[in-house]
Amino acid sequence: MRIISATSAFPKHYYSQEMLFAALQEFWGDHLAKPEVLRRLHKNVGVDGRFLALPIDAYPLLKGWGEANDHWIRSALELGYCSVSRALTGAGLDVRDVGALFFTSVTGIASPSIDARLINRMGFSPNVKRVPMFGLGCVAGAAGIARAADYVRAYPDEVAVLLSVELCSLTLQREDLSVANMISAGLFGDGAAAVVVAGNKRDGMKPSQGPRILATRSIFYPNTEEMMGWDISESGFQIVLSPEVPDLIRRQLGNDVDNFLADLGRERSDVGSWVLHTGGPKVLQATAAALSLENGELAASWDCLRRVGNLSSASVLVVLEDVMKNRRPEPGTFGLLAAMGPGFCSELVALEW
């Protein structure tokens, strides 16, 4: 099994963090008792700017969740079309070559789902297997790669595509002035990414295209479902984000990674490439502490966070794209791709470059 392509796509509207802060300050207006708290939170998330699905002045005019979700469907189709097309072109494939299409998002809802609508628009085979996934949040990029790997392990002469579209700006809650929502408003951005995974018997695949997938592991932490996710009401998606998440990462991630590696006859010092979900500064700091990474191993994650913010499930895929295109390890390098998210859970993917 091999990852043969990873490509991102973003909306055309990009704003600096200072512009976004000013817009949010106006958006919340007199309801914001302490604007300095919002400024401090935005400054501390380590983001220079973010892409938005809509022009910045359109958000105060949204009349409710239904209208926001209509925009989510339209933008998800546009970005999904673009990222999948680029990923397949980069892999030298046609849409008719795809045996399975996995789709993940946690920022909007559609039925038929976005993958079905793309099959109609892009001309996929009518026999393509569809696997829409909802609710996994930030972990879904890594989980999607793992599930695509499961598919091509069963069908080694086929190709699977994973598409993630996250339009976090369309979940903004006007009445929620909690610290969690203010952090969310400063941290999360909009974007999409697609990854192509090929089976071992797929003809024409070259080692130079991307890393082999050696193994995957899912880890669920019991009784942690209140740590991250959504509360869903008439106004849409309201963020649940516990300050305990970094502590959980520090307690669990190191041992989980070590146990996974030990089962592969490896240890942490063997890992020469780290592709990790961007999270936020506290999450990345906790990850570095848990894994004893002190020499710039997470530079790609920090850079992606700074450039585009946290893209939820698409984040780890954007980091993967950056590593494949700009920071490619030497052939034979052992690597680890990982993300954490609602559940609370982890997903680990061992790679060989």
Catalytic residue positions, numbered = 138
Long-range contacts from 90-93, C-beta under 8 angstroms, 24+ separation: 90/5, 90/7, 90/196, 91/4, 91/5, 91/159, 91/196, 91/198, 91/209, 92/204, 93/159, 93/196
Q: Tell me the C-alpha distance between 65 and 78, whole Å.
A: 20
Contact 79, 51 (CB under 8 A): no
Angle at 186 between CA 185 and CA 189, to 5 degrees: 80
Q: Tell me the C-alpha distance between 35 and 272, whole Å.
A: 43
Cα–Cα nearest to 200, from 237, 154, 164 = 154
Contact 51, 13 (CB under 8 A): yes
Residue 351 has phi, psi (to 5 degrees) of -125, 155
Residue 98 DSSP one-character state: E
Contact 277, 142 (CB under 8 A): yes
| Cα-based distances in Å from 90 to 20, 23, 52, 75 | 33, 37, 25, 22
Q: Is 174 helix (H, G, I), strand (E, B) or coil?
A: coil
Q: Tell me the C-alpha distance between 303 and 318, whole Å.
A: 11
* Residue 107: other Cβ atoms inside 10 A: 26
Q: Tell me the C-alpha distance between 63 and 111, whole Å.
A: 21
